[in-house]
A and B are shown apart, each in its own frame.
Chain A
C-alpha cells in the first residue's frame, strides 16, 4: 500500500527566509510520481511541483524546489524567500504507475505554513 507522511502539522517562517516542508513516502511501485500542492483558505488546490521517481535531477519551479532523496524515500518541499502569500496548507501527494493504479493521488495530512512579517 502507498502512504504519505507529513510530520509537521504547522510551521512558522519569517518573511524572506527559506523553509523546508517534510514529506516521506512508502510504496512498492518501481515507478511513481510525487506532488506538492498549496491550499489557501479559499480551498482550491494549487499545483506547485512534480517529481518523477526516475528523474535524475531535483525538480524546481520558481521559488519552489523538491529535495528528492530516493534512498530515504523523502520528497521535501523547499520554498525560498518566503512571502506573506505563501501562508497556506501544503499537501504532499503520490501517484503510482503500477499495481493497477488508475492515476489517483494519495495525500499526506498536510502542513500549515504561516509566514510572519
Chain B
C-alpha cells in the first residue's frame, strides 16, 4: 500500500483568504485525486491530477477556485481560494497504488469563519 501524508491536518481560516493543502506520497503514482467531504456528507471528487498535465475538474468545481499543482509523481497541492463558510469541509487526497487499490491521506479539516 501507499503511505500518504497531508498538511495541514486542520486549519481555521477567515473568509476571503486562501489555503494550500499539500499531499505527499511515498511511491511514484500517475494519478492523484482530490475529494471534498462536506459536514455529514459523502465524498465528492474535485479533480484528478496527472503529473505533467492540467488537472481535470469535475462539474461544479473550477480551476480559479481550486487550483491544483502536480510538480512530480509523489506530490500535489490543492488551494482553496477566496474561502467562504461553505468551503468548510474535510479535503482528502488519494492515489491508486498498487494497481486497483486506492488509499487516502489523513485529510485536512478546514473551518472557514
Contacts and interface: CB of A to CB of B under 8 A. Distances in A.
Interface residues of B, number: 25
Interface residues of A, number: 22
A28 to B, nearest CB: 19
Contact of B33 (A42, A50, A104, A110): A104
B107 A104 contact: no
Given A91-B42, A103-B31, A103-B33, A47 B48 contact: no
Nearest to B45: A104
Contacts of B48: 102-104
Contacts of B12: none
A45 B104 contact: yes
11 contacts: A33-B100, A43-B107, A45-B43, A45-B94, A46-B104, A50-B101, A103-B96, A105-B33, A105-B43, A109-B42, A110-B42
Interface of A: 33, 35, 37, 42-47, 50, 52, 91, 93, 95, 102-105, 107-110
